[in-house]
Structure 1
Amino acid sequence: MDTGILTIFLPLALAIVMAGLGLELTVQDFLRVRKHPKAVLIALFSQLVILVGVAFIICKILNLSPYLAVGLVLLAASPGGATANLFSYLYKGDVALNITLTAINAIIAAVTLPLIVNFAITHFIQDSTQIGLQFSKILQVFAIILIPVALGMFVRYKFPNVATKLEKPVRIFAVVFLVLIIVGAVLSERANIMNYLAQIGLATALFCIASLSVGYFLPRFFGVPSFQARACAFEIGIHNSTLAMAIAITIMNSSEIAMPAAVYSIFMYIFAAIFGMLLNRFAPLDHPAELTQNHSQIN
C-alpha cells in the first residue's frame, strides 16, 4: 500500500471523516464536562491508562509479533469512534456525554497517541528508528486529527444549515471509507491474512470485550449512573479504527500494524450490539426520567 496515490488519498479521506466529526461538535460540548466531571474523568482514565495497559498485557500473554503488538496499542490509544453516539442512543445511554467525550478525546488523542505509540514501538520493536513517530510525523498526526475537526466545528458555527446538510453524506462517506481501507489493508497482506487472523483475532476480541466491560463497570463502581456508564462503555469500546489504520498505513507505512484495527472493525459493532442488548436485559436504568430529558435535548 506504499504508493503515491494512497499516501495522498488516505490522509485526505481521513480529513473528511474527521471534519465530519467536527460538524457535529460545538464549543458547548467541551464546556459540558463541568456538569458531569466524574463520568468524564473516569472515562478518560479508562481510555488512556487502563485500556492501554490491557493492550500491553494482551500482547504479552498472547506473544504477539512486534508489529501486531504496536498495532493493538495504536488501536487502544485511538479515540472513540463517531458511531459510539449511535450505539449510545440505541441502548439508552447519555448521548450528550458521548458527544462531550468525543470532543475531548479528539483533542487529547492528538497529544497522547504519538507518545503511547512511540513507547510501544520502543518496547516491542528492536530497530525503532525507521518506524517511530518522529517530530515531523507527530505533527502529521496532530494535523490530521485537530485541523479537520476545527474546520468542521467552524462550519457548524458559521453555517449551521450547511453543517446539517453535510452530516449524512459525510457519515456515509465515513462508512464507505472504513470498508475500503479494511479491504485495502487485507488485500495488501493477503498472503499473510490467515496467519494474522490466527494471531490477532483472539487478541482483538479480548480487547473489544475488555473495552466495553471496563467502560461500563468502572464508572458504575464509582457511582456513575447507569445511563452515563453506558455512554462511557460505547465511547471506550468503539475505537476510531479508521484513524488507527490510516496512521499505520500512511504515517507509519505498515499494513501489518493496521491489521489489529482492521480485524477490530469487524468485531466491535457485533460485540457492541450484543453488549447493549445484555445491558438492556440485565442492567436497568437508574435515572430513566433524566435520560428521556437528555434524549429530547439532543434531538
Structure 2
Amino acid sequence: MDSALTTIGLPVALAIIMFGLGLDLGLDDFKRVGRNPKAAVIALACQLVLLPAICFGLVLALDLPPLLGIGMMLLASSPGGTTAALFSHLFRGDVALNISLTAINTVVAIVTLPLITGFAINHYGKDVDVSLPFGELVNVFALILIPVGLGMLVKAKAPGFAARMDKTVRIASAVILAILILGVILSERDNIGEYIADIGVAAALFCAVSLVIGYVVPKAFGVPGPQAIASSMEIGVHNSTLAIVVAVEVMDSVEMSIPAAVYSIIMFIFAAGWGKWVSSRETQRVSATVDA
C-alpha cells in the first residue's frame, strides 16, 4: 500500500488541486463560515458522534474479525480527507466549509481518534497503543493551507486571471482525480480482490451511509444546498491515508489498514456518483424556485 503514487504522486497532485481551489476562495468565504457556524457544528456532530456509532453497529452486524473491526473504527474516527474539498468544488459545494472542517477535525482527531479506536480495541480485548502521529498532522495542514493560501493570494492580486481559470481548474481537477483513482486501483491490483472479499461490503455500506448522512442531516436542519453538499463530502471522504499510516506505523498491523485501503477506492467512485446526483438535485430545486 506504500508506493510512489501515495508518497509522492498523491501529495503533489493534491497540492496542485488545493492551489486551484484557492483561486476560487477569498477571506470573506471563511468569515461567512465563522459567522454562520450551524453547518459546521452539525457536520462535526455527525462525524464525531453519529458515524462512529453507525460504524460500530455495522462491525457488530457483519460480525467482522477483530483486526478488521478495529480497522473500521480507526477509519470512522479519521478526519475528512483533503480530496473532500475537491469533490465539493466539482459538485458546487461550499469549499470554504470543507477546508474549515478538515482543519478543525484534524486537530480534534488528536483526542477523538485514540478514544474511538481505543474503544474498539478494548471491545475486542486487544492490547494495542494508538495515537495520531504529529508528522502526519503537520502534513495534512501543509497540504491544505499552503497551496490554498497561495491560490487565494493569486486571486486577490489577479482576480481576472482566477476567474478565467475556474473552468480549467474544474476540468483539470476531474482529470487528476480520475488518474488518482486509476493509480490507486492499479497499485493494489494484486491484492484488491482479497481485500474486497474481506471488507468490501462493510466499507461500501459505511461509505454510502456516510455520504447520505452528511447531506440529509444538515438539510433536515435547514442548511443550504451548497453547505449540505460540502458536509456530505467531508463526512463521506475520510482521510484513509492517515488511517493506513496509523494502522501500519503506530499499531503495527497491516490487517487493520485493509478497511482504509478498500475504502480509499470505494469512496472515489461513490462520492463521484453521489455528488453528481445531489448537485443535479440542488440545481433543479433552484431552477424550480426561480421559475415559481
TM-score norm. by structure 1 comes to: 0.70
Report the equivalent of 1:82.
Answer: 86
Equivalences for 1:261-280 in 2 at 5 Å?
Answer: 261-274=264-277
Q: 2 CA distance for matches of 1:156 and 1:162?
A: 7
Residues 9-88 of structure 1 mapped to structure 2, 5 A cutoff: 9-33=9-33, 36-62=36-62, 63=64, 65=68, 68-69=71-72, 72-73=75-76, 77-78=80-81, 80-88=84-92
Higher mean alpha-carbon deviation, 151-160 vs 58-67, is at 58-67
Contact conserved, 2:42 with 2:218, CA < 8 A, in 1? yes
Deviation at 1:20, TM superposition (A): 1.9
Listed as ranges, the matches of 1:229-240 within 5 Å are 230-239=225-234
Residue by residue over 1:64-114, the C-alpha shift from the partner in whole angstroms, topping out at 9 and shown as x without a partner, is 6157525632666436433335535xxxxxx5xx24422422432442355
Q: CA deviation at 1:146?
A: 1.9
How far the C-alpha of 1:150 sits from its partner, in A, is: 1.8
Q: In the aligned structure 1, how far is the partner of 2:44 from the partner of 2:70?
A: 26
- Once the two structures are TM-superposed, the CA of residue 274 in structure 1 deviates from its matched residue by 4.5
| 21-30 vs 49-58, greater mean Cα deviation | 49-58
2:137 is matched with which residue?
138
Higher mean alpha-carbon deviation, 259-268 vs 203-212, is at 203-212
Contact 1:71–1:248 at 8 Å: present in 2 too?
yes
CA-atom RMSD in angstroms = 4.0
- State the alpha-carbon separation in 2 of the partners of residues 171 and 197 from structure 1: 31
Matched residue pairs, number? Answer: 276
Q: By how many angstroms is 1:17 displaced? A: 1.7
1:211-250 to structure 2, matched below 5 A, reads 211-222=210-221, 224=222, 228=224, 230-239=225-234, 244-247=239-242
Query: C-alpha deviations, 1:19-38, integer Å up to 9, x for none?
Result: 22222211111122366443
Which residue number corresponds to residue 288 of structure 1? 289
SS of the residue 1:24 aligns to: coil
Unaligned runs of 5+ residues in structure 2 are: none
Q: Given that residues 14 and 243 in structure 1 are in contact (C-alpha distance below 8 angstroms), is that contact kept between their aligned partners in structure 2?
A: no
In structure 1, the residue corresponding to 2:91 is in which secondary structure?
helix
1:30, 1:273 → 2: CA distance? 25
TM-score by length of 2: 0.72
Q: 1:275 to 1:19 in 2, by over 3 A?
A: closer
The residue type paired with residue 266 of structure 1 is: I
Aligned residues of 1:185 and 1:259 also touching (Cα < 8 A) = no
Quick one: which amino acid aligns to residue 57 of structure 2? I
Q: Distance in 1 between matches of 2:169 and 2:212?
A: 30
Secondary structure, aligned partner of 2:132: coil
Contact 1:106/1:146 (8 A) holds in 2: no
For residues 154-176 of structure 1, give each alpha carbon's deviation from its aligned partner in whole angstroms, at most 9, with x where no partner exists.
Answer: 22222223333444444334333
How does 1:137-176 map onto structure 2 within 5 Å? 137-176=136-175
Q: What amino acid sits opposite 2:50 in the alignment?
A: I
CA distance in 1, matches of 2:23, 2:49: 29
Cα distance in 1 for partners of 2:154, 2:146 equals 12
Q: Which amino acid aligns with 1:111?
A: V
Q: Residues of 2 paired with 1:20 and 1:250: CA distance? A: 27
What 5-or-longer segments of structure 1 have no aligned partner?
89-94, 293-299
Of the three residues 88, 92, 104, the one matched with 1:108 is 104
Shift of residue 263 of structure 1?
1.1
**Aligned sequence identity (%):** 34
